[in-house]
Amino acid sequence: MFDARETLVREKFAAFKYIIPVVSGKGGVGKSMISAALSLALAKQYKTGLLDLDFWGASAHVLLNVDSKFPEEEHGILPEEVKGVKFMSVAYYTQGKPLPIRGTEYTDAFLELAAVTRWDDTEYLVIDMPPGMADPFLDILKYVKNGNFLVVSTPSKLSINIVSKTLEILKEQKVNIFGLIENMRSPEDYSNRIGRLAEKFNMEYLGYIPYYQNLDTKLDTLDDFISTDFFQKIKEIGSKFRNNFCKKPNR
């Protein structure tokens, strides 16, 4: 059955200059924190948006210290702006309550959220993806044709095992891959497992982020978060994106 939202969503995503879905086959690797930091870093130079598509565990609004007040409506939903980042999340609709949906219900909610959101002249869109390779992952592959995927893994063998499967699918789909980032590396870890994984899949290893034991204590305010070494590491990765992709057309 024809769904007019599908055409609208494709058009909306195609209007962005660059889309960066932050993905991983495994949960708990730090995608939300990386997504929030990357969008804040890019917003210092570009018109940037952040879309949280983790409908089951939305948390980007917590990192951005956004309240649950519903955004303004004018011919669509206008994302709330936080330090230059236009932010949209299903958390505005759920008001902090669980959202137990599955299968086609997720796709329907995704299409509705993507169709009604007004990004206007936003150039960059960072997408905080839920873990796994189910409907959310497949929907992004279907509707986002100008994505540059940022893949996140920790150095654990469990994470590498699952993330490698994500990379296989992305390679099979012939999508642009920004690179592979290693998060939460301990100071004693010199294994370079993620670097070898990137080499195996012939993609760029964007570097590692150390495990910062006291990072949670810096999340009370955005200014504290932006002052962290973690944020500076993500800012460096944002610079790599500009160097790698902004010098060439992405369509």
Q: Which domains does the chain have, with CATH numbers?
A: 4-245 (3.40.50.300)
Q: CA 200 to CA 173: how far, in whole Å?
A: 17
Element (H, E) at 22: strand 18-23
Closest listed residue to residue 57, CA positions, set 22, 98, 25, 19? 98
CA distances to 149, 151, 177, 227 from 204, in Å: 12, 10, 8, 27
Quote the DSSP letter at residue 77.
Answer: B
pLDDT digits (tens, 9 = 90+) for 11-48: 999 999 999 999 998 899 999 999 999 999 999 999 99
pLDDT digits (tens, 9 = 90+) for 129-160: 999 889 999 999 999 999 999 999 999 999 99
Tokens of 139: 């929907």
pLDDT digits (tens, 9 = 90+) for 39-71: 999 999 999 999 999 999 899 999 999 876 788
Query: For residue 68, what pLDDT is reported?
Result: 66
Residues 36/50, Cβ–Cβ less than 8 Å: yes
Where does the pLDDT of residue 104 fall: very low under 50, low under 70, confident under 90, or very high at 90 and above?
confident
Query: For residue 139, what pLDDT is reported?
Result: 96
pLDDT digits (tens, 9 = 90+) for 191-248: 889 999 999 999 999 999 999 989 999 999 999 999 999 999 999 998 887 777 665 4
Q: CA 170 to CA 150: how far, in whole Å?
A: 11
Residues 58/130, Cβ–Cβ less than 8 Å: no
Q: How many residues does the chain have?
A: 251
Query: For residue 250, what pLDDT is reported?
Result: 42
Tokens of 247: 């010098």
Predicted TM-score of the model (pTM): 0.93
Neighbour-count burial of 142, counting CB atoms closer than 10 A to its CB (0-12 exposed, 13-18 middle, 19+ buried):
middle
pLDDT digits (tens, 9 = 90+) for 153-170: 999 999 999 999 999 999
C-alpha angle 134-117-8 in degrees, rounded to nearest 5: 75
Query: For residue 251, what pLDDT is reported?
Result: 40
If one compares 224 and 102, the residue with the highest pLDDT of the two is 224
Q: Is it the case that residue 190 has pLDDT exceeding 80? A: no
DSSP secondary structure of 197-240: HHHHTT--EEEEEE--TTGGGG-SSHHHHHTSHHHHHHHHHHHH
Query: For residue 246, what pLDDT is reported?
Result: 60
Query: For residue 188, what pLDDT is reported?
Result: 83
Query: For residue 241, what pLDDT is reported?
Result: 79
Query: For residue 175, what pLDDT is reported?
Result: 94
Q: Is it the case that residue 249 has pLDDT exceeding 50? A: no
Query: For residue 82, what pLDDT is reported?
Result: 95
